Structure formats: structure tokens, C-alpha cells
Amino acid sequence: MQLALEQSHAVRASQLDRGLQRQELAIAETEFEPKYSLGGQIERSAESRSSVSTVAAGSTWRLASGAQVELTRSQVLRGASGGQQALQTVLRVVQPLLKGNASVASLALENARLTDAVNRLQYRQFLSETVAAVVLAYHDAKQVDAQVELAVLSLQQSRQVLEVNEALYRAGRLAQRDLLQAEFDIAQNELALAQERNAADAVKRKLLELLGPVAAMAPTAQLELGEGLPDRDVPDEPEHALLAQAQDSREDLEVAELAVNLARTAITQARNEKLPQVDLVAGVQPVLKPELTDAGVQRSGYGVSIGLRFTATLDRAPLQLQLSRARVGLQKAEWFLQDLRSAVANQVGSALRDLRFAKLQRELAGQALALAEQRLGVELQKLKAGRSTTFELSAAQDALKRAQAVSADAQLAVPRARVQLQRVTGQILAQWVPELLPGSLP
């Protein structure tokens, strides 16, 4: 799991995407912070050989009320030596009264936060699925190893039977056809062993591919599975308790709930777009006064202005269509959330029943295996005493192989069922990689 979370290109790509998403949120969080700009230009006239230089600095500040404040300060230098100077300061405030007013001013920031929450949950869900895939692939690899061991054991038993048959044949107590049957069983078991080893190689290759590009290039013979994964058993709780746990922990449920909230904000935005644009505009800017200076030049100063600005879209059909789409989107999001809640309830119940059945199956398969082993031992003793045939012994061997295969599958069906129950209750990360709990995820 550590290799998969650190080396897998898919995981690393999702981490890079998550980093970009966090940067997008950080930019959106600055919506109500002042923005600054600086500019300038210079022009030179060929006829007068004079130049005009302009330097301007500005600041724009959007308020939570929806108002936008703009402050610009510029300086103009004229003449060859820049002797004539003009300094101007302009302040302008635009306050929306209908469209874009205080009720929707924070809507973009709210959408950005909801979107980031969705992205974070989807990233967590991807990590959860990656961990679950590694755990299941590990169990698959353990199963094929067990099948290879069973095939080796069956081959050894066939060879032991052949030794007994050869001794009985030399003593004249066994027909040649019985000896040929034992040799045929050995050939069949050798073929089965080769098939199991080939299947084991493919399953282990799949596990290595989940662990990143370096591990994917390693030979499967170098993969040592050890004693097995620790037993992460699910607490023996009633179904309603597990369902409550799933409703609190499932990432896809939280994403669906956030999708409903996003759909509601889309309706609010669509309603806002239908409103006319009515703005209160106020400003302070330089003006020329009617009085003259002693040199006969008009005096300059600052004047205050205030007024209303009105804009309305006459073609209402596109705006109504946008609102209708938003309402449909909300209805679909609510339906999807309802269906998902029902599906989660069914998944939890089914996974819990599967786990209980897997435990019962493991117990019954163990009993069947013990009986098959006893039967083979009895048939082998009867064969040595001359009271059985190789065909009866072969049938007992086949029954034992089937019982061993069923028992091996039943043994690994329990941890698989546990993983499935952990998945449907949203407990994969908490069970297997608690250091990646929600509070520690970016």
C-alpha cells in the first residue's frame, strides 16, 4: 500500500491535480481583497520634439455588498524636460442594487468552496479505491499461491500412490490397468501444477502493476507475500449501525449532497441573471472650475458625482432557459442523491450478508476438507490391504482436491467480504491507512 500511494503514476497525477485545485481555491478566496495594477506609456512628437509620459497606479476592491471600489492615481509629464506635470486622482464606487447585489455577491466564492470540497472528496475516494484494489489484489495473489501449493501437494500424493501401486504390482496384487491409472493421475496433476503457476504469475503481475512503475518491472518470482495482511475485522454491529456509519463516511454520498447545494446556487445565479442591472454610481474626479487664476487659467479641483445606471436585457428567453436548466439540474441531483442513499442501504445489507455467509462457508468447507482427508486415508489403507482399487483411490483424491480448492477459496472469501463491507461503509482508509484520515488529506 505504501508503494502504491507513493509510486503509482495514477496516484501521483491525482496529487498534482489536487495541488492545482487548492491553488484555484486560494485564488478564489482573494475575491474580496484589493487588486492592484500599475501601467504607463510615453509618446514623443516628431514635429514639436516634445514628449508626454503617463504613469498610473490603480486599485480595485470588491466588497461583500457587491460594490466595486476603483481608485486610480495618474501623473502626466509634458515637455522635453518633463517640466509640466499634472497629477490626477479618481475614485469611483459602483453599488449594484438588483442584479449582483449583496445577496449574491459571495456566490462565486461559495461555489469555489463547494467545488473544492467535491474535489477533495473525490481525491479521498480515489485513494480509498486504490488501497482497496491493492488489498484485493494481495488476497488474489495469496489465493493463487495456495492453489499452487495444493497442486504441488496433489502431485506429491499421486507419486506416493504410484509407489504403492508399483509395490502391489510387483507382488502380483494389482492389475496393470490400475498402475496406468496412477501414472495418468500424475500426468494430470503435473499439467494442473503448470496451469496454476501460469495463473499465479498473471495475478501477481497485476498486483505489481498497482505498486508503481518500478515494481511493475520486477519479476514476479521476487514477490514475497509473507504471512498475510493483518486481520482488519469489521466490528460485529447491527445493520442499522453500519448503515449510519456509511452515511457519515461514504465520499460519494457527501459528493452527491454537495452537488445538490451546487445546483441550488446555480438556481440563485440564474435568478440573479434575470434581474435588471441597476447600479448606484458615485465618484470623485478632477474638474475645471469656472474661476480663473491670476494668470488667466481655469482653476482645477475635485468634484463629486452620484447617479443611477440602468441596463435591462429585453430578450428574456435565454435567461429563462438558463433558470429552467438550473431547476432541472437540481431535480436530477436530488433524485440521484435519493437513489444513491437507497443503493448504499442495499450495498451495506448485501455486504453484511456476504460476510456472514463467507464465515459460515469457511466453517463448512473446513469440515468437508477434514472428511475428504479421512476418506483418502481410508482408501489408501484399503488399497495397501488389497481391498480397494486405484480408481476408487483416484476418486478419493479428486474429492480431496475439490475440497481443498473449496476450502482455500472459503478461507480467502472472508477477508474479501470484509474489504467489501469496509468499502460500502466508507472505512477503507480508516482501517488500512489511518494516517490518511479526512483531517490529514489536502
Sign of CA dihedral 263, 266, 268, 270: negative
Give the pLDDT confidence score for residue 290 in this predicted structure.
Answer: 63
**Strand, helix or coil for residue 228:** coil
Tell me the CB-side half-sphere exposure of residue 427, using CA atoms within 13 A.
19
Give the pLDDT confidence score for residue 439 in this predicted structure.
Answer: 62
Of all residues in the chain, what percent carry a pLDDT higher than 70? Answer: 91
In the predicted model, is pLDDT for residue 154 greater than 70? yes
**Least trusted range by pLDDT, from 26-40, 233-247, 265-279:** 233-247
**E strand spans, 178-324:** 277-292, 298-311
Strand order, beta sheet including 35-44: 35-44, 51-62, 68-78, 84-96, 277-292, 298-311
pLDDT band at 134 (very low <50, low <70, confident <90, very high): very high
In the predicted model, is pLDDT for residue 85 greater than 80? no
**Least trusted range by pLDDT, from 123-137, 209-223, 417-431:** 209-223
How many residues in the chain? 442
- pLDDT, one tens digit per residue, over 364-412 is 999 999 999 898 888 878 877 777 777 787 788 888 888 988 998 898 8
**Which value, in Å, is the radius of gyration of the alpha carbons in the chain?**
39
**Strand, helix or coil for residue 67:** coil
Higher pLDDT, 181 or 211: 211
Q: Are 76 and 53 in contact (CB under 8 A)?
A: yes
Average pLDDT, the chain: 87
Give the pLDDT confidence score for residue 83 in this predicted structure.
Answer: 55
Amino acid at 415: P
Rounded Cα–Cα distance for residues 8 and 129 (Å): 13
pLDDT band at 348 (very low <50, low <70, confident <90, very high): very high
Of all residues in the chain, what percent carry a pLDDT higher than 90? Answer: 51
Give the pLDDT confidence score for residue 82 in this predicted structure.
Answer: 47
Give the pLDDT confidence score for residue 143 in this predicted structure.
Answer: 86
pLDDT band at 215 (very low <50, low <70, confident <90, very high): confident
In the predicted model, is pLDDT for residue 121 greater than 90? yes
Report the pLDDT averaged over residues 69-81: 80
Report the pLDDT averaged over residues 415-437: 88
Rounded Cα–Cα distance for residues 109 and 264 (Å): 14
Q: How many CB atoms lie within 10 A of CB 350?
A: 13
Give the pLDDT confidence score for residue 300 in this predicted structure.
Answer: 67
Amino acid at 275: L
Amino acid at 276: P
Give start and end residues of each alpha helix (H) in 29-106. none
**Least trusted range by pLDDT, from 86-90, 327-331, 438-442:** 438-442
**Strand, helix or coil for residue 289:** strand
In the predicted model, is pLDDT for residue 78 greater than 90? no
Give the pLDDT confidence score for residue 92 in this predicted structure.
Answer: 94
Tell me the CB-side half-sphere exposure of residue 341, using CA atoms within 13 A.
11
Report the pLDDT averaged over residues 53-69: 92
- pLDDT, one tens digit per residue, over 298-318 is 566 778 999 999 999 888 899
